[in-house]
Amino acid sequence: MPVQYTNWNKLYPEWRIGPSDCSQSCRKSKGKPNGKKPAPEEKKLYLEPEYTKSRITDFEFKELVMLPREIDLNEWLASNTTTFFHHINLQYSTISEFCTGESCQTMAVCNTQYYWYDERGKKIKCTAPQYVDFVMSSVQKLVTDEDVFPTKYGKEFPNSFESLVKKICKYLFHVLAHIYSSHFKETLALELHGHLNTLYTHFILFIREFNLVDPKETTIMDDLTEVLCSSSGSSSNGSGNGSNNSAGAQNHVKER
């Protein structure tokens, strides 16, 4: 079941006003807040080859993310961002019962901790499920706001649209990264790692194609990205049986 979001009027970061730089509403710090050295990294289960090769499709995501001819860039960004939001929300909901205030006392990804900042720049101390709730409820509010994600004919996208999309993608990346770093075991137990890998690969190639997230922000997962995304879009990789699995994608997306 998708997660229900209730904090509609509380503690939203101010998405519409403020510096175009999207680093203001969320900052991170390395290591533990008490200054102690971070614990040595555990072995990353999600990097095991037997798991990284698991996907649910052999689509050529590099082609799939490209802006199709005749489609407006903002429309393409809006449609994809909304879809990623729904899929990442759904993927998180599969492990959300394990992501509790006790198991995840902070929004941690490997040894990095993320903090949520309210609209006044005040740091909000929150657990991982609270952080994800802030992200999802804020994004839900944005993607259903007709002034930000217009769906009616003749309605224009706001000037701030691209910077809002960048913010959304940054936060969605944090959620995906948290699932990998803290809930991969549960994802494996549910046999949903193929879905997670596929979603991650598609998402990373999309944000790369349109430079939506600062590469510094995603460095933390570079080891995984390298394994998953370097094999995506390469016809010499994958099953190698010459099947026509990518034909579907090519029907939808033509060369620019």
Annotated binding site: 99, 104, 178, 183
Pick the stretch among 72-80, 122-130, 157-165, 211-219 that binds Zn ion (CB under 5 A): 122-130
- Closer to Zn ion by Cβ: residue 81 or 91: 91
Q: Is 78 in the site for Zn ion (CB under 5 A)?
A: no
Where in 179-208 is the site for Zn ion (CB under 5 A)? Answer: 182
Pick the stretch among 18-26, 151-159, 176-184, 188-196 that binds Zn ion (CB under 5 A): 176-184
- Closer to Zn ion by Cβ: residue 104 or 142: 104
Residues that contact Zn ion, how many (by CB under 5 A): 4
Q: Is 104 in the site for Zn ion (CB under 5 A)?
A: yes
Pick the stretch among 19-27, 96-104, 192-200, 220-228 that binds Zn ion (CB under 5 A): 96-104
Q: Which of 128, 148, 228, 229 binds Zn ion (CB under 5 A)?
A: 128
Q: Which of 99, 164, 221, 229 binds Zn ion (CB under 5 A)?
A: 99
Q: Is 136 in the site for Zn ion (CB under 5 A)?
A: no
- Closer to Zn ion by Cβ: residue 104 or 139: 104
Look at the block and give the residue holding tokens 């037997």: 50
Binding site for Zn ion (CB under 5 A): 99, 104, 128, 182
